[in-house]
Amino acid sequence: MRDPAPQLGHLTYPKLRLKDNLLDENPNVIQFQSKYGSFQLHEPPTTNLGTLSRLPLELLQQVLYQLDIATIVDFRRVNRQAFTILDSVSAYHAVAKHARNALCGIIAIVTGKWITCGTLYKKLSTPGCEICGDFGGYLYLLTCKRVCFLCLSENPLYLPLRISHACRKFGLGSEIVNKLPCMRVIPGTYSPNEKKVARCILVDYESARIAGITAHGSISAMTRFVSDLQTQKDEKYNARKAAALSLGDRSTHIRRPPALDPYDALSGNPFRFGAIARVACLDIATQELERGFHCLGCERAKRLPLHYRRKFMVASFKDHLAQYGGIKNGEHHLG
């Protein structure tokens, strides 16, 4: 691994002493990952790939690069020849070596059919958070995006939704939502404040939103449909309640319609951590891993742009110092 920043070491520190309880820290995923990684061929292949053997190796490698993770994992199981050919795809080899936690996380939450080997490789080798551009130390494995801690814990796009919530929020039927990128939550403890989550299915927020806009024709049409429907449900509830009360019935419980959005505790919302793996960035030219580092001047800061969760690389850290000043006594000072 690359030294975080030799010339800046006295102004930075490599990691926080916090446990975020991500998907790749779930014991089931850790166990699966070590099983996946320890599988080795003890004997060379004795059979070929049948009809596929007619294709030149380079073409097979290109096809495998473009195939989705679910398919290449099935292909890997076909026979020893398939295992060897897949391992000869340099992108897969890099992913299996440097992002095995993400690869196994994808298999565990069953999102492999929406993510290609090539996409995972590109995200492995791109450092920036796709929302804010800061160093992104994580991959969101529902649709494979690189993201930083602050965006994954605060941006709506990184909050996977229950199917019923997505239907309500974007005015969609479950037959549409069920076809969108969904994940199977691995039961366990997630988020820094250790919230337990049971088995359930969650859908990607952005995919559901786009499906909603497409189905209704525009954002405004979707918003109107959703708010009209919610008003109708509220009115129906109020009418039923009033009717029960007028009959002197106080014992029948009439269920209030669910709110459009349940409370989102942001970094305390376990749904935001069930598809997240910590993944360093692979520098393709040097084959070194970049994990980013924290700023000592922001160690106690909690309000952006100064925040202890932000991570930097050498260039972005120099810009950060130029913008907010050098560090004295653990704080930035301009001038």
Decide whether 33 or 155 has the Cβ nearer to Zn ion: 155
- List the interface residues with Zn ion, window 272-331 (CB under 5 A): 295, 297-298
Q: Rounded to a whole number, what is the distance in angstroms from the first to the last CA of the chain?
A: 35
327-to-135, 248, 295, 335 alpha-carbon distances in Å: 20, 70, 9, 11
Q: Is 180 helix (H, G, I), strand (E, B) or coil?
A: coil
Least CB distance from residue 144 to Zn ion, whole Å?
16
**Residue 37 Cβ, how far from Zn ion at the closest point, in Å?**
29
91 binds Zn ion (CB under 5 A): no
Q: Which one, 70 or 321, has the nearer CB to Zn ion?
A: 321
148 binds Zn ion (CB under 5 A): yes
CA distance to 132, 230, 237, per residue, from 225 (Å) = 31, 9, 18
Q: Which amino acid does the sequence have at 190?
A: Y
> What gap in Å lies between CA 136 and CA 133, rounded to an integer?
8
**Of 69, 96, 129, 276, which lies in the binding site for Zn ion, with binding defined by CB under 5 A?**
129
Pick the piece of the chain touching Zn ion (CB under 5 A) from 22-30, 59-67, 126-134, 245-253: 126-134
Nearest-approach distance from CB 146 to Zn ion, in angstroms: 9
Q: Binder to Zn ion among 67, 109, 151, 208 (CB under 5 A)?
A: 151
- Nearest approach in angstroms of CB 153 to Zn ion is 10
Q: What's the min distance (Å) between Cβ of 24 and Zn ion?
A: 19
- The span from the CA of 109 to the CA of 204, in Å, is 12
We find the least distance from the C-beta atom of residue 68 to Zn ion, in angstroms, to be: 26
Are 243 and 250 in contact by the 8 Å Cβ rule? The answer is no
Segment contacting Zn ion by CB under 5 A, of 51-59, 146-154, 184-192, 228-236:
146-154
Using CA atoms, how far apart are residues 107 and 73, in angstroms rounded to an integer?
A: 8
Nearer of residues 83 and 308 to Zn ion, judged by Cβ: 308
Tell the smallest beta-carbon distance from residue 297 to Zn ion (Å): 4
Is the CB of residue 327 less than 8 Å from the CB of residue 10?
no
Q: Is 132 in the site for Zn ion (CB under 5 A)?
A: yes
Residue placing its CB nearer to Zn ion in the complex, 211 or 301: 301
Bridge partners, 331 (sequence order): 328
Nearer to Zn ion (CB atom), residue 156 or residue 258:
156
Binding residues with Zn ion: total (CB under 5 A): 9
CB contact set of 91 (below 8 Å; sequence gap of 6+) = 65, 117, 118, 120, 121
- What the block records as the tokens of 60 is 């097979």
Environment class of 246 (CB within 10 Å of its CB; exposed 0-12, middle 13-18, buried 19+): exposed
**Interface ranges with Zn ion (CB under 5 A):** 129, 131-132, 134, 148, 151, 295, 297-298
